[in-house]
Amino acid sequence: MLTYQLKKTPGVPLYEALYRCIRGDILSGVLKANEKLPSKRALATNLKVSKITVETAYYQLLSEGYIRSEEKVGYFVEPVPRAVQATAGVAPQKTPVKNEDSLLDLTANGPVHFPFSVWSKLQREVVLDLGERLLMPLHNQGLPELRQAIATHLGQFRGMQVDPEHILIGAGTDFLYNLLIQLLGREKRYGVEEPGYGKIRKIYAAAGADCVNVPMDALGVDPKCLQNAQVLHISPAHHFPTGLVTPLSRRQELLAWAAQAPDRYIIEDDYDSEFRFSAHPLPTMQSLDGGHRVIYMNTFSKTLAPSIRISYMVLPGELMAIFREKLGFYSCTVPSFQQYTLARFIERGHFEKHINRMRKFYRSRRNQVLDALLAAPFANRLTVLEEDAGLHFLLKADTKMTDKELTEWCEQAGFRVQALSEFYHGDVPASAKQQLVINYSGLSDKDVETLKQKLRDNKPSLQGEAL
């Protein structure tokens, strides 16, 4: 007779506990193939549980194929494949990994505050007001209400005159990049910033597009190095990872380059332009563009949360017409529920208030991190390079260590960082070495205090040299 010690566990019914016990015995081979199981009544009496408990457990095993039922005979164990039996009850071998739980991560940004109360209130309103309308198909460019809200926002805060009919909404910039490659053509050569965000190169490569690195100087992408490119992908408002802001003169040079040939375009990635802490941001290249050669892109991943997955681009009229003709069969990839909620969030001024709060918060957080660095015992060997914008800055270290040794030194001190040289895909100039990219937006108050302590108390050395 089967005997198990069935314990009442919160959230686990008795039948579930019994089911797990029997299944475990089948998988481990304790119960052999074709072995007959006790009757429901007999097992219930032996375990001192109700007959319903045993019946439900048997039904679960039956439905999953662990046992079979023979009418007027009883229940029997089904044969279990050897591969399943061999692994049953054996803990999987874990690959030894380095314990990095204690490392403070300065390599990635993340949302610290999200307006949950306002967002959830708007979601309830959307459900009550729209009901079954939320189930209807969407316009392939996105909800008209959201496109209008975005156009109004861009006009008020970025000085852009945008027709909502030229806006295309998608689930993240990754999706929009792929649409652009199909729209502009894989045969074109796409120029990307060097150094730059590596994921962009991977997307172009995965789509089969030719991608070339375009060197940067102190003003941004060097126009003299664009001879082989037809499409230029840049982030002039705040370049990642250098933090450089492209000045107006260089922007005009790049626009002149785009105007020299009918098949040239500039993709302007304005991903974190909202977070400028002193002077107003420079006008977008799209607003300066008189030749309709700029494709403007932005996302709500930085301003709200990465999981929102709502991004958009503004296409010149000619390109939008081509999109409708050749790619108009694509459906919008963002659910209507999220789009209606975001539209109301922007229309009612909540987005502006949120940006203002976050701008103030990130300015304070950046200053706290800078203060922690300046208070370090080796502060005289550190130089902060920043443009008073965005959610990261560069830290120059006066050291003879290589970049690999420097990042390992930081890991010994208790925090994870990336060197600027890691974002190059060709030769790394000497001027870019011994520089660290510091991302700070994902740090909590506790993290900042931890950073201060690690900088103050830890003095690891490497090859005889410590910062």
**Strand duo 67-70 + 189-194: pairing:** unpaired
- The token duo for 317 is 């009229």
d(CA 385, CA 388): 9
Direct distance between the N- and C-terminal alpha carbons of the chain, in angstroms, rounded to an integer:
70
Fold: same for 14-87 and 116-348: no
- The token duo for 38 is 């006790």
Per-residue model confidence (pLDDT) at position 280:
66
Q: How many helices (H) and strands (E) does the chain have?
A: 15, 16
Closest CA to 172 of 42, 11, 338: 338
- Other CB atoms within 10 Å distance of the CB of residue 173: 22
**Domain boundaries defined on the chain:** 14-87, 104-112+354-457, 116-348
Closest CA to 399 of 463, 448, 347: 463
DSSP-H helix ranges across 29-172: 40-47, 51-63, 82-87, 116-130, 144-158
d(CA 422, CA 430): 13
3-class state of residue 255 by DSSP: helix
DSSP for 307-365, written as a single string: GG--EEEE--HHHHHHHHHHTTTPPP-S-HHHHHHHHHHHHTTHHHHHHHHHHHHHHHH
Contact 361, 113 (CB under 8 A): yes
- The token duo for 276 is 């400028």
Taking the CA atoms of residue 129, residue 134, residue 139 and residue 145 in that order, the dihedral angle to the nearest 10 degrees is: 30
Contact 311, 299 (CB under 8 A): yes
Q: What is the pLDDT along the chain (467 residues), one digit of tens a residue?
A: 788 877 666 556 788 888 888 988 888 888 999 999 999 988 988 888 888 888 888 888 887 788 898 888 899 998 876 444 444 444 444 433 344 456 888 987 776 688 999 999 999 999 999 999 999 999 999 999 999 999 999 999 888 999 999 999 999 999 999 999 999 999 999 999 999 988 999 999 999 999 999 999 999 999 999 988 999 999 999 899 998 999 999 999 999 999 999 999 999 999 877 777 766 678 899 999 988 999 999 999 888 988 889 999 999 999 999 999 999 999 999 999 999 999 999 999 999 999 999 888 888 999 999 999 988 888 999 999 876 777 889 999 999 999 999 999 899 888 899 999 999 988 899 999 999 999 988 888 899 999 998 888 766 554 446 56
Contact 82, 29 (CB under 8 A): no
Closest CA to 195 of 442, 408, 419, 411: 419
Per-residue model confidence (pLDDT) at position 459:
60
- Return the CATH fold of 104-112+354-457: Aspartate Aminotransferase, domain 1 (3.90.1150)
14-87 CATH, one of 1.25.40.10, 2.40.160.20, 1.10.10.10, 3.40.50.300: 1.10.10.10
d(CA 240, CA 324): 32
DSSP for 124-159, written as a single string: HHHHHHHGGGGGSPPPTT--HHHHHHHHHHHHHHH-
Angle at 356 between CA 353 and CA 361, to 5 degrees: 125
Residue type for 69, please?
A: S
Per-residue model confidence (pLDDT) at position 295:
98
d(CA 221, CA 239): 10
Q: Which architecture characterizes domain 116-348 according to CATH? A: 3-Layer(aba) Sandwich (3.40)
Per-residue model confidence (pLDDT) at position 27:
85
Per-residue model confidence (pLDDT) at position 139:
95
Sign (positive or negative) of CA dihedral 243, 247, 252, 254: negative
Q: Which helix (H) or strand (E) element contains residue 435?
A: strand 435-439
CA distances to 171, 216, 309 from 339, rounded to whole Å, are 11, 37, 11
Contact 444, 113 (CB under 8 A): no
3-class state of residue 376 by DSSP: coil
C-alpha neighbours within 13 Å on the C-beta side of residue 293: 23
Question: Could you check whether the bond before residue 195 is cis, i.e. omega within 30 degrees of 0?
Answer: yes
Taking the CA atoms of residue 171, residue 173, residue 177 and residue 179 in that order, the dihedral angle to the nearest 10 degrees is: 20
- The token duo for 30 is 């304790």
Q: Which helix (H) or strand (E) element contains residue 385?
A: strand 382-385
By residue count, the chain amounts to: 467
